[in-house]
Amino acid sequence: MARGRNKSADGPWALVTGASSGIGAAFARALVSRGERVVVVARRVERLRALQEELGGADQVDVITLDLARPEGPARLEAELGKRGREIDLLVNNAGRGDTGRFVERPVEASLEVIDLNVRTTVELCARLVPAMAARGRGRVVNVVSMSAFQPVPFFAVYAASKSFLLSFTESLAVELEGTGVRVQALCPGNIKTEFQQVAGTDKVLFDKTPASPPEDVVAASLAGLERGTLVVIPGLQNRLTVAAQSLVPRSLTRRLAGELFRPR
């Protein structure tokens, strides 16, 4: 784990996981531009250091290099935050993983890695960091979910199921935290052109041809929704219309249409 400068606790920080590219890096840039200081977490230290330098150095961006998919990852992150005196006022659970293909043909390890990072890590970081927010009477949580949370997605089955879990978990957590001063959001973007596609394999399916949003637009929608107190944020009018339409057609149709978008070609 890379160690940053040992500075005393001097006010709140935001924490962004999966910050080396895509939505995570866009969150870091947007938050710093709004005057917030950010702890960025990911595995690729070179990317994080470059982001730190871009955004004003160690006084604005603190770097922690860590693989959150490992069982000990969230506990190590909590310990490092405590060691550095970082009081987290905003938790952005962005780190995630996908795996495209026919479930019975995919390695079991690949499916378990998706569950570990998308589900276990997010829940554990909430469990470790949100109680302190509630005790202080303020805080914000953004769990990056997905439009895939709203229906089954054949050939992307474990990922979609993990995001359905996160949507349900986030909505439930929001109710439990009412009156505590902690705001919670489920951010549900659609197609975004990031490195996630190459890693997950979605760059080789029909879904990759659907309209895509820039990460910066997704983050702008998230932060605006957080200020309004919107629980479920679906960036983009077309995406919101798509989700609304899904409630009007049989579920058997939505899962077949989703399957065609992700069927390996």
Q: Residue-wise over 85-123: b if at least 16 C-beta within 10 A, else e?
A: ebbbbbbbbbbbbbbbbeeeebeeebbebbbbbbbbbbb
Helices (H), the chain: 22-33, 45-54, 73-84, 108-115, 122-136, 157-176, 196-200, 215-228, 237-246, 251-262
Pairing type for strands 87-93 and 38-42 reads unpaired
DSSP letter (8 states) at residue 66? -
Selected catalytic residue, list 159, 196, 207, 262:
159
- Respond yes or no: is residue 159 known to be catalytic: yes
What whole-number distance in Å separates Cα of residue 151 and Cα of residue 262? 13
Task: Give yes or no for a contact between 17 and 44, defined as CB atoms under 8 angstroms apart.
Answer: no
Nearest Cα neighbor of 206 from 155, 146, 131, 139 is 155
Identify the residue whose tokens are 């997605």.
153
Q: What is the per-residue DSSP string for 132-175?
A: HHHHHT-EEEEEE--GGGGS--TTSHHHHHHHHHHHHHHHHHHH
Task: Give yes or no for a contact between 211 and 189, defined as CB atoms under 8 angstroms apart.
Answer: no
Backbone phi, psi, residue 194, to 5°: -140, 180
Catalytically active residues are: 159
